[in-house]
Amino acid sequence: MKKNKESIKIVAIKQSFLKFDVRSMIKNPVMFVVEIGLFLSFLLTVNPNLFGAELASGRGLNALVSLILFITILFANYAEALAEGRGKAQASSLRQTKKDMIARRVLADGNIEEVSAQDLKRGDIVSVQAGEVIPNDGEVLEGVATVDESAITGESAPVVKEAGGDFSSVTGGTFVTSDKLIIRIEADPGSSFLDKMISMVEGASRKKTPNEIALSTLLVSLTIIFVVVVVSLHPISGSLGIKIPISILIALTVCLIPTTIGGLLSAIGIAGMDRVTRFNVIAMSGKAVEACGDVDVMMLDKTGTITYGNRLANEFFPVKGVAYEHLVTSAVKASLLDLTPEGKSIVNLAKDKGIEVLQDGVDASKFIEFTAQTRMSGMEMDGTLIQKGASDAVKKYVGHLGGVIPVDTDAIVESISKLGGTPLVVCEGNVILGVIYLKDTIKEGLIERFERLRAMGIKTIMCTGDNPLTAATIAQEAGVDGFIAECKPEDKINEIKKEQALGKVVAMTGDGTNDAPALAQADVGIAMNSGTIAAKEAANMVDLDSDPTKILDVVEIGKQLLMTRGALTTFSIANDVAKYFAVLPALFIIAIPQMNQLNIMNLQTPSSAIISALIFNAIIIPLLIPVAMKGVKYRPDSSNSILKRNLLVYGLGGVITPFILIKLIDMVVAPLLSILGI
Q: Is 338 annotated as a binding residue?
A: yes
CA distances from 158 to 99, 148, 441, 578, 623 (A): 29, 4, 16, 67, 55
374: annotated binding-site residue? yes
Residue 119 annotated as binding site: no
Q: Confirm or deny that 360 is annotated as ligand binding.
A: no
Q: Contact, 342 vs 356, CB < 8 A?
A: no
Does residue 151 have a known ligand-binding role? no
Among residues 148, 301, 440, 553, the one annotated as catalytic is 301
Q: Determine the distance from the C-alpha atom of residue 359 to the mean position of all C-alpha atoms in its chain, rounded to a whole number.
A: 45
Picking from 159, 510, 498, 577, the residue whose alpha carbon sits closest to that of residue 303 is: 510
String of b and e for 410-447 (b: at least 16 CB within 10 Å)?
eebbeebeebbbbbbbbbbeebbbbbbbbbbbebeebe
Residues contacting residue 674 through CB under 8 Å, at least 6 positions apart = none
CA distance 633 to 57: 46
Is 121 known as a binding-site position?
no
Distances (CA, A) of 656 to 200, 564, 615, 649, 650: 42, 20, 16, 11, 10
Residue 633's CB is within 10 A of a number of other CB atoms, namely 8
Look up residue 157 and give its amino acid.
Answer: A
Active site residue 301: yes
In single-letter form, the type of residue at position 14 comes to K
According to the annotation, is 511 in a ligand binding site? Answer: yes
Closest to 504 in 3D by CA, of 288, 295, 211 = 295
How far apart CA 658 and CA 427 sit, in angstroms, is: 82
- Residue 279 marked ligand-binding: no
- How many Å apart are CA 431 and CA 493, to the nearest integer? 49
**Would the annotation count 515 as a binding residue?**
yes
Residue 370 assigned to a binding site: yes
Residue 500 among known ligand-binding residues:
no
Q: Compute the distance between CA of residue 85 and CA of residue 625 in angstroms, rounded to an integer.
A: 14
- Between CA 662 and CA 617 the distance in angstroms is 9
Bind-site residues for ATP: 338, 342, 370-377, 388
Bind-site residues for Mg(2+): 511, 515
Bind-site residues: 338, 342, 370-377, 388, 511, 515
Active site residues: 301
